[in-house]
Amino acid sequence: MKIKILAFGITRDILGGSTVEMQIPAEASVADLRAALYAEYPALQKLNNLAIALNTEYASEEQTIAERDEVVLIPPVSGG
């Protein structure tokens, strides 16, 4: 299935834009998506804490992704 991924902060730079489409297997989990992202964009592995949200809520690694889910990459946040 094809999903649309929204990227913010440094993830936008790594992916080369604020949105990308990715083909993943049906019934893929967040962990499966993370593995696919790391294979396609190895620089993502260097981030200390990359969160993935589905439909405005942080997702667990076991959660299954549906084709119409809003998938968002949330990079580590720093500031002061």
What are the residue ranges spanned by the domains of the chain?
A: 2-74
Residues linked to residue 74 through DSSP beta bridges, in sequence order: 51
Planar angle of CA 49, 53, 56, nearest 5 degrees: 135
pLDDT (tens digit, 9 = 90+) per residue, 34-61?
999 999 999 999 998 999 999 999 999 9
What is the 8-class DSSP label of residue 40? H
What pTM was estimated for this model as a whole? Answer: 0.91
Q: Say what percent of the chain tops pLDDT 70.
A: 96
Q: Is the pLDDT score of 71 beyond 60?
A: yes
Residues linked to residue 7 through DSSP beta bridges, in sequence order: 73
Domain 2-74 annotated CATH 3.40.50.300 = no
pLDDT (tens digit, 9 = 90+) per residue, 24-36?
999 999 999 999 9
